[in-house]
Amino acid sequence: MLFPHEHAVARPAASSRAEFPPLTDGEIAGRVHGQRMGGDFYHFLRATPSRVVFGLLDVAGRHKENQRIVEVARQTFQRVGKEKFAYEEINEADVMMEFCLELNLAIRRAAAGVRSCAAFLGCYNEDLGTICYVNAGHTPGLLCDAEGISELPATGLPLGLFSASTYEAPTAVLQRGASLLLVSRGVVEASDKREEFGLERVKQHFLQSQRDNADEIASHILHAVQQFMRKPNSDNDVTALALVRRLPAPSPAARV
């Protein structure tokens, strides 16, 4: 179900945008609410049979002025992501840091200088159920499992600021039945009468969502933002992405 001013982006039309790759034990989905105002964009690609690379990036500035930088960042993500993560025997943390450095350089070149780009970049290993990630000045990723919600905070500065930036790439475990939610700054900063939606409300609605369905998670969050604002958001992009690792199906013996 789509709400007013909302559109699903699970099958982008432009050829430069990757489709959401199917997962063997879960799914990835994303939704965007409203018109493109800023530099939010997501990208996904399957690098190997067991490894999916994904990201949510926000290039600073209005859409008209940063459109070329966004496109360069998208192309770099696709090209470098395939190159760096294509081999089964790699150190994902080292490769993720190299990936970030390449994106950082591409953004600085496209901007002919400094252009801040907050980004959450992850590599989901389906065989291990792990996510190796870099949070470059982005809103925290939210990981929800049986123990509750934990934050995946910033591990470095936004891309596009300094040529010699360094990034840490920790690994988080996505247990079976767990889900990961990424939201753009526009979600957290959405306001009504000078009160922001905020990260705590994101967490509350995440817990209330149908957490075994990635599309429902993203849709639920954006609908909650729309209801909170009580009007279309004309200032910021509002984007939500979700990754779900499902519980195993019960065996025939267990169903008897």
Phi/psi region, residue 67 (left: phi>0; alpha: psi -120 to 50; beta: rest), is alpha
Confirm whether 254 is domain-assigned. no
Q: Give the pTM.
A: 0.87
Confirm whether 109 is domain-assigned. yes
Q: CA 145, 148, 154, 158 torsion: positive or negative? A: positive
Any idea what the CATH number is for the domain that residue 54 is in? 3.60.40.10
Measured CA distances, 76 to 3, 21, 144, 152, 156 (Å): 32, 18, 30, 24, 20
Confirm whether 255 is domain-assigned. no
Confirm whether 122 is domain-assigned. yes
Q: What is the pLDDT of residues 24-77, one digit of tens each?
A: 889 999 988 765 555 788 899 999 999 999 999 999 888 778 889 999 999 999
Instruction: Please count the structural domains in the chain.
Output: 1
Whether pLDDT at 165 is above 60 = yes
Confirm whether 253 is domain-assigned. no
Confirm whether 256 is domain-assigned. no
Whether pLDDT at 231 is above 90 = no
Whether pLDDT at 16 is above 50 = no
CB 202 within 8 A of CB 181: yes
CB 206 within 8 A of CB 181: yes
Confirm whether 251 is domain-assigned. no
Tell me the residue range of the domain where 216 lies. Answer: 6-245
Confirm whether 164 is domain-assigned. yes
Q: Which of 16-25, 63-72, 215-224 has the lowest average pLDDT? A: 16-25
